[in-house]
Structure formats: C-alpha cells, structure tokens
Amino acid sequence: TIQALLDRLHTQADTDLTTAETPDVGIIMGSDSDLDTMVGAHEALDKLGFDEQTEFMTSPDARFTYETYVVSAHRTPQVLYAYGETAADRGIDVIIAGAGGKSADLPNMTASIAYPIPVIGVPVQEKSVDSVIGMPTGAPIVAVDAGKSHNAALSAAQILSREHDVLKTRLEEYHTALITDVAADSFRMHD
Ligand code: RP5
C-alpha cells in the first residue's frame, strides 16, 4: 500500500545506515509501462558492477547498488514528495527519473524536491522531451534524449566516479570495450 511505502521511506531516512547499506542510485519511473525503456539503466549499471537492492538492506555487502520504484507525479504525489524529501537521508547520491506522455512531470518535480541531489531525466517518449527539460532558472535538471536510459546510467556512474576510483576504472574499461566494438564493426564493413 501507499502508506507502507511512505513508512518504509521515512523509516530508512531515520535509520542510521552505513554507506554500504544504502542505495547509491535511485531509479524511478512514472508507470510500470515505462519499465521497457528504463531497464536500459539497469543493464548499464549491472555492466558496471552495481547490484540491484530489491529490498531494504538486502545487499549490505554490495559495493554499489541501485533501487527501483514506480512513483507517479500525478497519481501518487505523496510518494513523489516522500521520495524526493528522504532521498538524501536514505543515502542516494544520484536519481535517474523517467516518465512519458505529454505531462512527464516526474523527473523535473523530483529535481526540485530532491535538490541538490542531481537528477538525470529520461523522457520515455519523444513528446516528453520538452516536459522533462523545461525547467526554470535556478531549478536544474540533467537530461538525456528520449529513451536513452542507458546513457542516464552512465552519467550517474560518472557523477559517482568523482568520489570512487573503482568506478572511474570501470567506466574507462567500458569505454575501451566500446571503442574496440566500433573498430571491429568498421573492419567488418570493409572486409
Ligand atoms: C506517464 O504517463 C508515465 O510515465 C507513462 O510514461 C505514461 C503513461 O502511463 P500509463 O498510463 O501507461 O500508466 O506519467
């Protein structure tokens, strides 16, 4: 229920947790119909060695973790507020927020509520781009192009890598593999 979710967020925020027990990246989306798009963020973070924290503190030994919630700005505004307001106390360093439709307000509202935690907005569809990036001066959001949740995850990892050398190394390895793949494709085309 909504109340159970609100209680869970507030309890976590009030509990004295170690860094290892809190999710580093929060992935939220406006509807479970956004999951097909947002799963790209899971895949990218998995590739970088993150673990999904499906329940509160289920992977206390994991080095880097992410969590996933459906939070609807319009259907469950109370969860939106609770999520944004408790994010810092729950140890989240970066939020990736995706929404679609013409009123894709979740990413930008989350950016305002969770400020100064950086929020990376993912417009799930092309028509959502303006809604996600349209922020007034002083209320920033970082955004990727429609559907590019994979890139949102890489950007989140880049932000975290400022503090964690191990992530910097993994991102460099990811980039090297990318260059190798592109070079291999280019060879194949000219064979
Ligand atoms: C948005 O409305 C959601 O982010 C989703 O992309 C879109 C449609 O949601 P559903 O009607 O499929 O739940 O708020």
Could you report the predicted ipTM of this complex, rounded to two decimals? 0.96
Q: Return the structure tokens found at 58.
A: 């289920």
Distance CA 161, CA 166 (A): 7
Residue ranges of E strands in 34-191: 51-52, 65-70, 94-99, 119-123, 142-143
Where along the chain do its domains lie? 2-164
- The whole-number average pLDDT for the span 166-182 is 92
Task: Say yes or no: CB of residue 84 within 6 Å of ligand 1.
Answer: no
- Whether omega before 136 lies within 30 degrees of 0, making that bond cis, reads no
- The residue to mutate among 27, 29, 34, having the most atoms of ligand 1 within 8 angstroms of its beta carbon, is 34
Bridge partners (DSSP) of residue 122 are 98
Residue 75 labelled as part of a binding site: yes
The class that CATH gives domain 2-164 is alpha beta
Task: Say yes or no: CB of residue 30 within 6 Å of ligand 1.
Answer: yes
User: pLDDT tier at 18 (50, 70, 90 boundaries)?
Assistant: confident
Distances (CA, A) of 159 to 35, 103, 168, 178: 23, 28, 10, 20
Q: Is 106 helix (H, G, I), strand (E, B) or coil?
A: helix
pLDDT at 156 over 70: yes
Which amino acid is located at 107 in the chain?
P
Distance CA 30, CA 150 (A): 17
Task: Say yes or no: CB of residue 124 within 6 Å of ligand 1.
Answer: yes
Residue 34 labelled as part of a binding site: yes
CB-based contact 156:94 (threshold 8 Å): yes
Query: Which of 75, 77, 55 lies closest to 65 in space, CA to CA?
Result: 55
pLDDT one-digit tens code per residue, 108-154: 999 999 999 999 999 999 999 999 999 999 999 999 999 999 999 99
Question: Residue 125 CA: which ligand 1 atom is closest?
Answer: 6
Distance CA 85, CA 90 (A): 10
Distances (CA, A) of 10 to 109, 115, 177: 19, 18, 41
User: pLDDT tier at 57 (50, 70, 90 boundaries)?
Assistant: low
Residue owning the nearest CA to atom 13 of ligand 1: 31
pLDDT one-digit tens code per residue, 24-37: 999 999 999 999 99
Question: Residue 99 CA: which ligand 1 atom is closest?
Answer: 4
DSSP state of 26: E
Q: Return the structure tokens found at 135.
A: 């922020």
Task: Say yes or no: CB of residue 35 within 6 Å of ligand 1.
Answer: no
Task: Say yes or no: CB of residue 40 within 6 Å of ligand 1.
Answer: no
